[in-house]
Amino acid sequence: MPRLALRFSTQTLLLQLGVVLLVVLLSGTVHAWLVSGRIGTQAENQALTLARTVASDPVIRSQVEAISKESGTPPATVLAAGPIQAAAEAARSRTGALFVVVTDETGLRLAHPDRARLGERVSTDPSDALSGKEVTTRNTGTLGPSAGAKVSVYAPGSAVTVVGEISVGYSMESLGQSLAEDIVPIAFTAAGSLVAGVLASFLLRRRLQRLTLGLEPEEISTLVHDQVAVLQGVDDGVIGISADGRITVFNAAARRLLGMPEASGPPGSPATAGTDGHVLTGNDWETAAVPAQLKALTQPSAHDAEAVEIVAGGRVLVANARKALHRKEDLGWVVMLRDRTELQQLTRQLDAVGTMSAALRAQRHEFANQLHTIAGFMSIGQHGQAKDYLARISATGPLKFPVQQAELLQDPYLQAFVGAKSVEADERGVALRIGPETLVREHVTEPQDVTTVLGNLIDNAVNAAVAGSSMQRWVELELLDEPGPDGGTLHIVVADSGDGLGGVEPERVFVEGFTTAEAADGGTARAGGQGLGLALVRQLARRRGGDVRVLESGSPGGPGAVFTATMPKVTGTPDDAPRAEPYAAAEPPAAERKEGHQ
């Protein structure tokens, strides 16, 4: 990406400095212009006042009238020594005016600061004043530029007869000096404003660099596009928490994995948490409706990148948190969520397949031994013995899973899965048997969900039987399907010979994180090593509209606890699904259930 010659923050600083300088210059110029106009107006008003005063002097009026009646104008020497010149110069000296000029009715000077110009015509037009008007002027005369006023001189006792005019002016140089005195505070004010503007510009530049982490606008735009593409494109859940504890990122995958509804507003729009537990960006992390294990990952005492397993939204998730740093600046936390539900289900299925494969290898070895026995009978001519031996083999069936009363299962999937579990249980010294109330007439249509629930319950029951104090170790399983219009419901009951739950509350075993070591009074809880099994199967069953619960807590010495599960819409009768023939168990069916066990 091409970079600019100047960084955006530097460009912003220069632009701000230019704007501040322009505003200060414009403000100072306008202020100076207004002050100059005000001083000039004041000088004109002062000149007008002085001219009126001189024009109203009786001596001036009478002397000007007398000269106006004469046929000519007196010589300059006579005017210089006359009373008009003396009165005009006295008024000019008292007020500091540039000039006080008196003329007759024709505009000839009768008084002037420069006596050599007496008797001459004035340099500016006196017609307005000689016509009876008062005017203020700014012009340049024989004495230089000035701001002044002209008024009429009336004959004594008359307000109509004009016999001359008075012209008073103040030097523009003196006005400039007054303006210079007034400009000093203006200049200080402008300089202070400029310094304040420059300082504010530098502080704004520094804050801009800190907020943008030194990135240019093009880089920020690219990061935003990349963030949206990555966060919405990955299957992993991503949650971002700022350093002040607010949620800044919560992508769609995180909502899906945690079982939360999708956001209704546009990405990045501010929102608040609703009553449905909807978590959106901008909310406080500590009060967000997320599992407590996730919040614990972002505590100061938590180890960075430490992964934990949690159950949320009917899924097993692996979560870890990392501290986000940029140039040693703490940006907060990033929490990653990964789905391990399918992996656990696949692992459980592979375990079942591996167990079944081991059982089949043993059956193959036994079948080879049987063939050798038959061949031996035939070779020595004991045909009757060979016939009886074949009859006994046919009665027991080609497979010898050590599950009792297996003929009650009609579904091939359940036959294979329960048979494999019976081999695994038999290796641990536990007899797995099918209860006499079992009746499954339809086929399993959701094998993954059934594997997860049934496998967890059987495994926990086998563990409880092994850990129990009873000498006879057994696990009894009953399954019953209930047909429905949208799929049948599978009812599962699992019992064992263990010591029960002890003093543990039945509902506590379904709490995420509960393990066997937490069972009270030596009781054996059904939670797996990570405390996820029963919590997961309950969420899975409830998500389908069913449930998993404790039917009986059991007692020390046996029989143990009884768990029941209801799974709707997991069985059906496909048109192309062949019905499986039941297979026989390795031992004759048990005539009755163990006394006292329910």
Q: Computed from CA positions of residues 250, 255, 261, 266, in that sequence, does the dihedral angle turn out positive or negative?
A: positive
Among 235-244, 323-332, 382-391, the range scoring the smallest mean pLDDT is 323-332
Give the mean pLDDT of the chain: 76
Residue 344: both structure tokens together: 């656990």
Q: Which residue has the tokens 């192309």?
A: 576
Q: Which residue has the tokens 């600061």?
A: 113
Q: Computed from CA positions of residues 464, 469, 475, 476, in that sequence, does the dihedral angle turn out positive or negative?
A: negative
Task: Kindly state the DSSP code that residue 286 receives in the 8-state scheme.
Answer: T
Q: In DSSP terms, which residues pair with 141 in a beta bridge? A: 144
* Higher-scoring residue by pLDDT: 166, 261: 166
* Higher-scoring residue by pLDDT: 21, 438: 438
How far apart (Å, rounded) are the C-alpha atoms in residues 522 and 145?
Answer: 116
The CA-atom distances, in angstroms, between 339 and each of 127, 251, 253, 312, 344 are 104, 15, 10, 10, 10
Residue 344 has what pLDDT?
A: 64
Q: Angle at CA 113, nearest 5°, toward 110 and 116?
A: 70
How far apart (Å, rounded) are the C-alpha atoms in residues 356 and 410?
Answer: 18
Query: Residues 6 or more apart from 268 whose CB is under 8 A from it?
Result: 281
Residue 131 has what pLDDT?
A: 87
Among 53-62, 138-147, 520-529, 553-562, the range scoring the smallest mean pLDDT is 520-529
CA atoms within 13 A on the CB side of 478: 15
How far apart (Å, rounded) are the C-alpha atoms in residues 84 and 89?
Answer: 9
pLDDT higher than 50, residue 445: yes
The whole-number average pLDDT for the span 558-562 is 87
Per DSSP, the chain holds a count of helices (H) and strands (E) of 14, 17
Among 4-13, 84-93, 241-250, 541-550, the range scoring the smallest mean pLDDT is 4-13
pLDDT class for 229, splitting at 50, 70, 90? Answer: low
Q: In DSSP terms, which residues pair with 434 in a beta bridge? A: 477
pTM: 0.46
Query: Residues 6 or more apart from 475 whose CB is under 8 A from it?
Result: 425, 430, 431, 432, 433, 458, 461, 462, 465, 494, 495, 496, 497
- pLDDT, one tens digit per residue, over 310-323 is 777 667 787 888 88
Q: Which of 439, 437, 400 is nearest to 422 (CA)?
A: 400
How is 562-591 classified by DSSP, letter by letter?
Answer: EEEEEEEEEEE--TTPPPPPP---SSPPPS
pLDDT higher than 80, residue 55: yes
How many CB atoms are closer than 10 A to CB 408? Answer: 21
How is 387-433 classified by DSSP, letter by letter?
Answer: HHHHHHHHHH-S---SEETGGGB--HHHHHHHHHHHHHHHHTT-EEE
Instruction: Return phi, psi of residue 109, to 5°.
Output: -70, 130
Radius of gyration over alpha carbons of the chain, in Å? 55
pLDDT class for 6, splitting at 50, 70, 90? Answer: low
Among 55-64, 166-175, 393-402, 555-564, the range scoring the smallest mean pLDDT is 393-402
Q: Computed from CA positions of residues 364, 366, 369, 375, in that sequence, does the dihedral angle turn out positive or negative?
A: negative
The whole-number average pLDDT for the span 560-581 is 73
The whole-number average pLDDT for the span 148-170 is 88
Instruction: Let me know how long the chain is.
Output: 598
Residue 519 has what pLDDT?
A: 47
How far apart (Å, rounded) are the C-alpha atoms in residues 401 and 582?
Answer: 12
Residue 476 has what pLDDT?
A: 92
- pLDDT, one tens digit per residue, over 462-499 is 989 998 888 889 999 999 988 888 888 999 999 999 98
Residue 477 has what pLDDT?
A: 92
- pLDDT, one tens digit per residue, over 356-379 is 676 666 667 667 777 888 888 888
Task: Kindly state the DSSP code that residue 519 receives in the 8-state scheme.
Answer: -
